[in-house]
Amino acid sequence: MKSIALVLLIASAYAGAAIPNVAVESAQGQLGPSKFQLHLESSVAEYEGLAGQLFDVENKASNRILEDLIINILEVFRDIVINGNDYIPPLDPLEIEHIGPFQFSVTGLRVTANIRDLRSEGLRWYVIDTVSFNPIRLTVGVHVTLPWFSVACRYDVETRILLVRHRAAGNFRLFIHRIEVGVDLRMGTNLVGGYLTLRELEIKIDVHDTLVHIDGMTGSKLINRFISNLVQSISQDIVQKHIDSLGDFLSVVLFDVINDILQDYTINDILP
């Protein structure tokens, strides 16, 4: 940094050489050695400050290039969510005709269930809140908010308790208000070739509110409403209890995926 300031100072000295000798001589009586040293130090400090500002601007510009690249990747993913590609079907809306059968059994109890005509919506509306990059620590932070998300389907269930059978079929709907996803990752470089590798990955998910509606469990509307209200009352607690586990699961699953992507890039590729 001082070398840059010195170059600028020398350039200004050459510019000052064009001042007539008369002006220089008239100033000699007013500018002694101590004052000249003070003037020189203040000039160096001034040019160092200017060079530092230029360096900060260039550094911020480089960071912004990578941050814009991440934002562009997320926007490309939005197009995949809507239209799909050769490997991923459209995800919003996502429609699946049949899932199942699911079976659950304990002593004296056996349950078989099927999900039909499942439809989920809302994934395309995610908002990219913040994207940050620290070139010194090689960390990237991304925060995304999904304003709403809904899942609706039909179901049929057959329950057998000892010799008693019960069959039920109806509709199920889950509406989630505001899902926030935070992703923090730290990269490093390997010793061979300086290629990037993922050191840490942490995904945090927060669900603000849920609304559950279910019908058809019994032939009584009153009992159905009671069951639906009961499921609604415990849904938020269940979600909050298991949402951290979902974030940890995604962190483990995506760790190797991101590492496979990074292995073809060096630090020079992300520091323009």
Which position has the higher pLDDT, 108 or 178? Answer: 178
* Four-point Cα dihedral 29, 35, 37, 39, nearest 10: -110
**109-121 and 127-134 strand pairing:** unpaired
For residues 225 and 215, what is the distance between their CA atoms, to the nearest angstrom? Answer: 7
- pLDDT, tens only, 147-163: 999 999 999 999 888 88
Q: Is the pLDDT of residue 164 over 70?
A: yes
Whether the per-residue pLDDT at 208 is higher than 50: the answer is yes
Confidence check: pLDDT of 55 > 90: no
* CA distances from residue 6 to 35, 44, 150 in whole angstroms, order as listed: 19, 7, 63
pLDDT band for 246, please (50, 70, 90 cuts). confident
Q: Which of 94, 89, 91, 135 is nearest to 118 (CA)?
A: 94
pLDDT digits (tens, 9 = 90+) for 12-44: 444 444 444 444 444 444 444 554 444 444 544
Q: What is the pLDDT of residue 186?
A: 92
CA angle at 217 for the pair 214 and 220, rounded to the nearest 5°: 105
| Other CB atoms within 10 A of residue 126 CB | 19
User: Helices 33-83 & 2-16, crossing angle to 10 degrees?
Assistant: 120
Burial 52-67 (b: 16+ CB within 10 A, else e): eeeeeeeeeeebeebb
| C-alpha–C-alpha distance, residues 213 and 95, integer Å | 19
Q: What is the mean pLDDT of the chain?
A: 78
Q: Which two tokens stand for residue 105?
A: 């059994």
**Residue type at position 220:** S
**What CATH architecture does domain 92-270 belong to?**
Super Roll (3.15)
pLDDT at 3 over 90: no
Q: What pTM, to 2 d.p., does this model score?
A: 0.68
> What is the reported pLDDT for 29?
46
Residue 54 φ then ψ, to 5°? -65, -40
